[in-house]
Chain A
Amino acid sequence: MKKIVQGTAFVFGNNIDTDQIYPGKFVELTEIADIKKHAMSGSEIPDLVDKFKPGDIIVGGKNFGCGSSREHAAITLKGIGTSAILAESFARIFFRNAINLGLPAITCKGIHALINSGDQISINFTSGEIKNLNTGKIAYAEPMNDYIMNILQSGGIKAMILKMQKEKKTLQTK
């Protein structure tokens, strides 16, 4: 996991549900190469995949990722190379899925008002500083606990488990 990422922001509203992120009609796909073609195709930016470059950043309002547990929603955003998702709050299953995949889902109160689509954003995962390079405005992410940071730094929970199996550790949180 990189310490600092920088990319262009794509801003969405409140309650962006999993059917907007990844419409149900595509859930029969199982390969990342296929799944990533439909990212946000049910949303207000249906052609996101044509505009999005690896390293770019998704910004949401409240309750980002509400709805289904289908991991396709997190897989598709990871697939297009999202470096981080910033939101006022996340729906919990989406949050889990993103973290488990090693995709940083960062909660930051007030972030939605600070960023417009097209702004250049930098995120420092160590200090939690989020900077809008177009306006110079700064916000700070809610700190993440060590367990979640460990998953992200391992590149996802699967990689973390494989590493623990090698070291013969069990899945302990404390």
Chain B
Amino acid sequence: MGMNMTEKILATHAGLKEVAAGQLVTCKLDMVLANDVTAPPSFKEFEKIGGPVFDNTKIVLVPDHFTPNKDIKSAGLSKAVRDFVNKHNIINYFEVGRGGIEHVILPEKGIVAPGMLTIGADSHTCTYGALGGFSTGVGTTDLAVALATGEAWFKVPEAIKVKLTGTKPAGITGKDVMLTLIDMIGVDGALYKTLEFSGEGVHSLSMDDRLTIANMAIEAGGKNGIFPVDEVTLAYIKNRVKKPYTIIESDADAKYCRTVTINLNELVPVVAFPHLPGNTKKVDEIGDIKIDQVVIGSCTNGRIEDMRIAAQILKGHTVHKDVRCIVIPGSQQVYKESIKKGYIDIFIDAGAAVSTPTCGPCLGAHMGILAAGERCVSTTNRNFRGRMGHVDSEVYLAGPQVAAASAILGKIAQPKDLQ
């Protein structure tokens, strides 16, 4: 029986020739990631297990959630990370000002590569499947065990094949693809499962599109999302990935529990209404919904292409008088490139606030908290009740083109509404 990409990666890392869905395996980890929120509690657990870290070159620590430190407690969390880094000589540590949001910088700096098995104490660790590796989120205890042993247990997931046909039209983003898929299968449609993307439509997706899509696999309940490696992937990792990597392909007779087909030609801009990422509606069909805030950024949509799309739409326009528009480049590199290309000038001229990289508003931590009754169009990944602030505030998830057009018009809108 053939294996799919995820099964092959898990098998290799478990030292097995073959694995099948449902099987429990213990795998060696290529990379272990944590941030300023999830790492400190795990350090205590790690100390109880004792011993050195399994490999100081295979651990990545990124303070990005409450950074730059929003208060004294969060400063303590970041300090705990820094102390651990110094004590255990962790090579991949990205201080404030030298990195950015974890899931933006790991691909950007070539830390993750095709065929790798990565776990991270952050649910959006599934992002790296965009590069053809297996990656998934875990909690604090799994992280502590991984730091000590370099291993983790997994149940081999069943796989859903997402067949992408056609070609992604101009004006459609990876976010539209993913919100449409979550609408089709539901927020638990991929529970414990792999979402394996395939079909000729994949080649029309940029790497930033794929990173957005894989990032939100968890929003359908997925264990991971994974893309085949093609010329787009190879062009992206060239000059980034400095170590040897393995390209994994699914066998022709690999097993899938379900196939879902999306014709990219038919996609339109969409928005996910509160309070679930699967409450997806076409922007064409929603009527007038006034908004108070727009956030463009996050591990989902804080990459250079997102900045470019937003800048192209905001150029020559002004943010609506009743709206605060907050733009957060996802990394220092994205920030710098946005300055070079003139995007930051466009944002500031339009009346948007531009922030240093941070997860901040996405989880309601800082940098854009909502008051009761306020509405926000956000390029982030979750619109749960109270996610960005008061329990009576509302988050509408969308791609950068919808967010930018909405900022200008003061209501949920798409670029064609500006004409």
Which residues does A use to contact B, with CB under 8 Å? 15, 17, 19-20, 23-25, 27-30, 42, 62-63, 66-71, 74-75, 89, 91-93, 96-97, 100-101, 145, 147, 156-158, 161-162, 165, 170-174
Contacts and interface: CB of A to CB of B under 8 A. Distances in A.
Main secondary structure of the interface of A (DSSP, over half): loop
Contacts of B149: 161, 171
A71 B140 contact: yes
Contacts of A28: 37, 66, 71, 73-74, 77
> Which of B71, B139, B187 has most A Cβ within 10 Å?
B139
Contacts of B148: 161
Contacts of B45: 158
B144 A174 contact: no
A97 B140 contact: yes
B5 to A, nearest CB: 18
A97 B25 contact: no
B233 interface: no
8 contacts: A69-B139, A74-B139, A92-B192, A93-B123, A97-B139, A100-B139, A100-B141, A145-B24
Given A28-B77, A100-B145, 16 more contacts: A15-B276, A17-B385, A19-B364, A23-B386, A24-B387, A42-B385, A66-B188, A67-B384, A68-B363, A69-B121, A71-B140, A89-B188, A89-B191, A91-B188, A165-B49, A171-B151
B406 to A, nearest CB: 23
A158 B221 contact: no
Given A20-B384, A91-B191, A42 B391 contact: yes
Interface residues of B, number: 51
A25 B362 CA distance: 11
Contacts of B386: 19-20, 23, 42
Interface string B195-229: 00000000000000000000000100101000000
Nearest to A44: B385
B312 interface: no
A131 B363 CA distance: 38
A26 to B, nearest CB: 10
B48 interface: yes
A130 B71 CA distance: 46
A20 B384 CA distance: 8
B365 interface: yes
Nearest to A32: B41
B141 A68 contact: no
> Which of B25, B45, B223 has most A Cβ within 10 Å?
B45
Contacts of A170: 151
B245 interface: no
Interface string B45-60: 1001100000000000
A103 to B, nearest CB: 11
A58 B220 CA distance: 23
A42 B391 CA distance: 7
A111 B254 CA distance: 34
A71 B139 contact: yes
A111 to B, nearest CB: 16
Contact of B384 (A17, A71, A165): A17
B122 interface: yes
B377 interface: no
B188 A173 contact: no
B139 A158 contact: no
B41 A30 contact: yes
A156 B49 CA distance: 13
Contact of B223 (A67, A92, A161): A92
B324 interface: no
A110 B121 CA distance: 32
